[in-house]
Structure 1
């Protein structure tokens, strides 16, 4: 409890008091409703109130935000959008094309956003070259979570390539453990497929396939190999996986029922809640074959054109500025398991998983190995993403699916969704 108040005090100490004359209201639509996320929203509320503004929470429960998007569309069409809404990827571009978003360029220039953000991230936040959204964090999706006690009991090392993974997997399975904790849900199938695709295709061809939708790569022999390696994973998942939620799969690794799990860094919160320490009770390592690559997912808020008072406009700009302040970046990401989006952050409060993630994020930003996650809606449109996930999940769960035929099926599905 004492630590909680110390963190809050340190956050508030960063903030200048704003005169009551400039006081406005911010209304933020989001679906950050889990315990860690809710703590961060509460901190943001305090930070805005410290600047003299009032906070109107607009939380809509629902993991992927589908319900929130329905509500947002109704509000926007009726001419009463919120100050900001949780949007990401291509959704930002779509709302920009519809003319609903406001420019944040004045705040961005004042706060030097182009200097503290990766160009890859900054470009996603812009529409027609103008900032219209603010990134809050970066999730790394291509993680492998490992129970080291299981691997030690079997006598295998942490796999660094897909070939090493399958060799270790056979030994783990023979010893009576579940090799791969997995939930039989389409988005989890896609998350697993995505890491295998990154390992087999490499960053350049991954981007061509899932960002550029290059049919030459999609119909290539390399993509056949992606599906073949993906199908091979099925042999190491327990029969009860169907419908299992991702956090239940993580618990299997925590409890020692399973050896490993492919999942984004939001899984770290489950280990932390169980009182486990990284490097000791569990390992966070890159998905086999993707050591220097980084598949990213970004939480962000897009800002809407307002018809309110000048004070509300000032409050909107203060909100945009506050989201990228180091104080909020620190507390939000410590709670969420992700890493700060700022490249100049002091990372001393973060654990080794986050430190490794930040190091790879910076290196990948320069090397071209920073790629958007299609499984988490960052790489392409919602329609194309849905088409890819459907094909991938159906292939994975059909006993007689053929890797040779899968790429052409994927190509047809994508073409129909474009």
Structure 2
């Protein structure tokens, strides 16, 4: 509530100021269309409009951004891109290669982005040394969510290793609970696979496999072990998982039907909406074996070249607003993620967010901060799709061979490079 009241004051005060002589229009293409995301996007709009600019909302719902990217490509090809678009990871580099992105170097220098952001994030936001995108938040993918009441009833202990994870799953299953709530969709299968890979390969091996796409790592014994663990995990998922949405799986843990869920921190928004308290009604643990590491997924707005000077000013003011403390606090409290600014005051955030920020800083300093493959940060969408195909086919075939799957993984990635 503090963040909301501060933002309201900021908006109210800004409205009283004289409109900028260089007020322009800023059109923003995004897919923040549900619940807290929409509230946060609406607040960003108000903050920009309070500076005298006109906001043109271009929200495209559905498909985790696929539909929005289709629309963006059509607009860009016709020479009429929006001022800003929600683009992330390696896709930023692809748009940069087309020569369509505007630089944000002046804003970045003014706000000292190089000091506020870890180098791993800076690299993603730049193209050929120029800032071309502004980061909105940081999601952590390698989380395990548990219902402590269910664990207590089953006599299970929150796990810190993969062996302990499967031991807990055995106890939950024996007590009549669904051990692991899961939705059988390719990206969810990919998220589980990624966390297992992060645990077994470690951050360095994970990077070799999915960022560098090193064949020896992709086909090695450790990757075979990852697929074997995925096969074992499949036995703890209920028969009705196929096609289930992630938030429905979260609901199973909230309602006490299941004990655990492997999911990024957007799952926290469901617990919050249900009136549950972090550290009391639910626990967030680093996925077993990934303590000290952090698989990141970052939402960002890439900026397109504009010919109108007033619109360019509005675009830069948008970037300044996104990186401001007030918006970073409000947006991330609604989204379940954490602010991207390393200097953010986290006192108004819950226990899971505070832990996430501490782990984010530690991982950034020690080499454990790695881009998520399953959420479009580590490799191109083509590589991601190839991995999803192999993983989902393996996951749904009880007789699949882990060693063969590792070979198929390497071949599938090579085919789309």
Task: Give the TM-score band, short-chain normalised.
Answer: over 0.9
Q: Which residue in 1 is equivalent to 2:349?
A: 350
Q: Which residue in 2 is equivalent to 1:134?
A: 134
CA contact (8 A) 2:376 2:384 kept: yes
Alpha-carbon separation, structure 2, partners of 1:14 and 1:347: 24
Alpha-carbon separation, structure 2, partners of 1:12 and 1:116: 24
CA shift, 1:218, in A, is: 0.7
CA shift, 1:14, in A, is: 8.2
Q: Which runs of 5+ in 2 are unaligned?
A: none
Alpha-carbon separation, structure 1, partners of 2:86 and 2:71: 12
Alpha-carbon separation, structure 2, partners of 1:374 and 1:344: 27
Alpha-carbon separation, structure 2, partners of 1:5 and 1:294: 29
Look up the SS of the partner of 2:145 in the other structure: strand
TM-score (norm 2): 0.97
Alpha-carbon separation, structure 2, partners of 1:277 and 1:20: 43
Q: How do 1:260-279 and structure 2 match up within 5 A?
A: 260-279=260-279
Look up the SS of the partner of 1:379 in the other structure: coil
CA contact (8 A) 1:294 1:361 kept: yes
CA contact (8 A) 2:177 2:258 kept: yes
Q: Which residue in 1 is equivalent to 2:364?
A: 365
Q: Which residue in 1 is equivalent to 2:415?
A: 416
CA contact (8 A) 1:31 1:63 kept: no
Alpha-carbon separation, structure 1, partners of 2:37 and 2:171: 39
Q: Does 1:295 align with 2:315?
A: no
Q: Which residue in 2 is equivalent to 1:220?
A: 220
TM-score (norm 1): 0.97
1:13–1:117 CA distance, 2 compared to 1 (3 A) = farther
CA contact (8 A) 1:11 1:328 kept: no
CA shift, 1:11, in A, is: 3.9
1:282–1:38 CA distance, 2 compared to 1 (3 A) = same
Q: Which residue in 2 is equivalent to 1:113?
A: 113
Alpha-carbon separation, structure 1, partners of 2:18 and 2:377: 36
Alpha-carbon separation, structure 2, partners of 1:319 and 1:136: 11
Look up the SS of the partner of 1:241 in the other structure: coil
Q: Does 1:334 align with 2:333?
A: yes
Q: Number of paired residues?
A: 416
CA contact (8 A) 1:140 1:264 kept: yes
CA offsets 1:297-344 (integer angstroms, 9 cap, x no match): 00000000012x211111111111111001110111011110000000
CA shift, 1:15, in A, is: 5.6
Alpha-carbon separation, structure 1, partners of 2:2 and 2:199: 41
Alpha-carbon separation, structure 1, partners of 2:321 and 2:171: 51
CA offsets 1:204-262 (integer angstroms, 9 cap, x no match): 00000000000011111111111111111011000010110000000000000000000
CA shift, 1:18, in A, is: 5.9
CA offsets 1:39-84 (integer angstroms, 9 cap, x no match): 1111111111111111110001114111111111111111111110
Q: CA RMSD in A?
A: 1.4
CA shift, 1:20, in A, is: 3.5
Q: Which residue in 2 is equivalent to 1:397?
A: 396
CA contact (8 A) 1:147 1:253 kept: yes
Q: Which residue in 1 is equivalent to 2:144?
A: 144
Alpha-carbon separation, structure 1, partners of 2:414 and 2:12: 53
Q: Which residue in 2 is equivalent to 1:179?
A: 179
1:18–1:163 CA distance, 2 compared to 1 (3 A) = farther
CA shift, 1:35, in A, is: 1.3
Q: Does 1:6 align with 2:5?
A: yes
CA offsets 1:354-381 (integer angstroms, 9 cap, x no match): 0000000000001000011100011001
Q: How do 1:2-401 and structure 2 match up within 5 A?
A: 6-12=5-11, 17=17, 19-307=19-307, 309-401=308-400
Alpha-carbon separation, structure 2, partners of 1:292 and 1:20: 46
